[in-house]
Structure 1
Amino acid sequence: MCQLLGMNCNTPTDIVFSFTGFATRGGLTDEHKDGWGIAFFEGNGVRLFVDHQPAMSSPVAELIKRYPIQSENVIAHIRKATQGEVTLENCHPFVRECWGKYWVFAHNGDLKNFAPQLNGSFLPVGSTDSETAFCYLLQRMRERFGEQSPDLPALSRFMQEICAEIAAYGTFNLMLSNGEALFTHCSTKLHYIVRQYPFPTASLSDEQMSVDFSEVTTPRDKVAVIVTEPLTHNECWTQYQPGELKVFVDGDVWLAGEAA
C-alpha cells in the first residue's frame, strides 16, 4: 500500500530531512513507485507538488529535497496503486476548498465496495477510492455543520465518527489538514514523534544522512512528525493503535482517542 508523511509544528519549519528519507521509499528502499505528492500550507495558501513518476526518479522530488520550504503543516504521500491508474490526477495529496480554507487530504489503504452517493458539492477528478473518500468526508462535514465552520472539538468528534464509518469498508489511514490542525487516523499502521528541546541528533533509516536538530532550532520549537513507518533508527517513535485518531496542533498531540 501507500505511505504517508505529515508534519505539524509551532513555527514554520522545513521538512527536507524527513522528506529525503521518505522519498527513498518511493522506488529504492521500498516499492511505492506509482507517484507521489506533497502539500505545504503557507498562510492562507497551499503549495502543492505532485508527480506520477516515482519519488526516487522525479525531478520535482529533487527540488523538494533541495528547497527548504517552511510550513507549520505538511502532508506528503508516496503511492502504490490499488485503485485507479498511474496518472497525475490520481496522485495524493488532494486539495479542496471548504469554508474559505484549503483542505489537504492523503490516504493509505484500500476501500472495497465504497461507492457513496455524492451530491455534487465535492466531486473526484481522478478514479481513486481515496479521492472519493475525501469528497464524501467533506460533503458530510458540510451537511453536519452547514455554512458555519465548527470549532476544533466539534470537528474532532466528527472526524472520529466519519473515520469509523469509512474504515468499515477497508483500510483507512489518513491525514487531513486545514492549515490550523493536522488530523490523523490509523487503521493499520502509523507512527509519530514530537521533537522538542533538548533536540537530538537524528539519523535516517533509508539514507546515509544525519542532522543535529539543536543546531537548526530554538528552545521554543516543537515539531511533530507522523509517518507510516519510522524514518530514523535512533529515535523513539510511538505507534498508533488501530482505530485511533490523533489531532496535532502547534506540534502537540491536541487530542488522541478511539474512533467510534
Structure 2
Amino acid sequence: MCEIFCFNSNTPKQVNECLECFYNHSEDHPHGWGLANMQSDEFVIDKEPVKATCSQHLKDILSHPVVGKNVFAHIRLATVGEIVSPNCHPFHELDDNNRSWMLIHNGTIFDYPGLDKYKEHENGDTDSERILLFIIDKVNEFEKEKGAPSTIKERFNLLNGIVADLSKNNKLNLMIYDGDLTYIHSNMRKTLYYLKDEEGFLVASTPLDDDERWKEVELNKLFGLIDGNIIFESEEHDNEFIQTEEHEKALENFLNSLQE
C-alpha cells in the first residue's frame, strides 16, 4: 500500500520538516513519490517513479522552503500499475467548467466494474487515476443537468455518495482537492491519522512524530476541510474495509510480478 499526506491551513506555512519525516517512510514505499502545492489558484506538482530518499529532484525541492496552505504528498507501494511516472500520485484533471481536481489514494480497488471503461482514457494504468476520471465524469454530469457550476456543498454531497459507493469491498483512503475544498476519507482502521494545532490541519497515513495529539481519522466518513477546519462531515457509511488473506495474496502476487 501507499502512504498519503495533507497539510491544510488558513495561511501559508513552511512544511519541510513534516515532508522530510513523511518521505523518510519511502524505504517501505519505494515505487515513486509525489508532491502537490496549491499556489495562487495553480497546482505545482512534482513526481517521479523512484524511491523518495533516492531522488535528487526531491532533495533539491526540500532544500528550499516549501510554503503553502494546501500541500499534498504521496509515496507509492505499487499494487496496480507499472512503476512509471504516469502512475505516480498526485493525479490532476480539469472538469468541463475548468475546475482543477487533484487526487491521491492509499488503497486498492478490488471490485468496481464502473471504473473499467477509464482504462482506455487514463494516462497510466492505475485504479487511482480511474477514480479521479470517474469523479470528474460525475461532476460534469451533475453540472450539465444543473446548467451551472456546482456549489461547494453540492460537490461535497456528490462526492460523499460516490466515495461511499466506491468503498464497498475496496480500500479507499483518499485525499482530494477541488480548488476550494479538501476531501478526506478512510475506511480501514489504523491507516490514517490527523493532528489539529495552531499551525493547521495535518493528515497522514502514520503519525509523523511522537505528539500525543495525533488521532485516528474517523472511519467511513467524508470530511471537507477549508482553512484548517472541518466545515462538512458526512454520515457514516457501512463499508469498512477489512483486509483478508485473499486480498493479501493478490497484493503479494502483484509485488512479486514486479521483481520478475
Question: TM class, shorter-chain normalised?
Answer: 0.7 to 0.9
- The 8 Å contact of residues 12 and 71 in structure 1, kept in 2 or not, is answered as yes
Match of 1:139 in 2: 137
CA RMSD of aligned residues (A): 1.8
- Superposition deviation, residue 50 in structure 1: 0.2
Give the match's secondary structure for 2:113. coil
Match of 1:77 in 2: 74
TM-score (structure 1 length as normaliser): 0.83
Match of 2:106 in 1: 108
Match of 1:41 in 2: 38
Quote the Cα distance in structure 1 between the aligned partners of 2:59 and 2:130: 30
> Is residue 238 from structure 1 mapped to residue 215 from structure 2 by the alignment?
yes
Structure 2: give runs of 5+ residues left out of the alignment: 238-260
Quote the Cα distance in structure 2 between the aligned partners of 1:19 and 1:136: 29
Match of 1:13 in 2: 13
Match of 1:165 in 2: 165
Quote the Cα distance in structure 2 between the aligned partners of 1:128 and 1:94: 10
Quote the Cα distance in structure 2 between the aligned partners of 1:12 and 1:160: 28
- The 8 Å contact of residues 111 and 170 in structure 2, kept in 1 or not, is answered as no
Match of 1:3 in 2: 3
1:169-217, CA deviations, whole angstroms, 9 ceiling, x for partnerless residues? 4101100112322111111121111221xxxxxxxxxxxxxxxxxxxxx
Quote the Cα distance in structure 1 between the aligned partners of 2:180 and 2:41: 10
- Superposition deviation, residue 68 in structure 1: 1.4
- Superposition deviation, residue 145 in structure 1: 2.3
The count of aligned residue pairs is: 231
Q: Cα–Cα, structure 1 residues 103 and 86, in superposed 2: closer, same or farther, change >3 Å?
A: same
Identity %, equivalent residues: 25
TM-score (structure 2 length as normaliser): 0.83
1:230-255, CA deviations, whole angstroms, 9 ceiling, x for partnerless residues? 11102411212221211111011112
- Superposition deviation, residue 119 in structure 1: 7.5
Match of 1:62 in 2: 59
Q: Please, which of 221, 224, 232 is the counterpart of residue 247 of structure 1?
A: 224
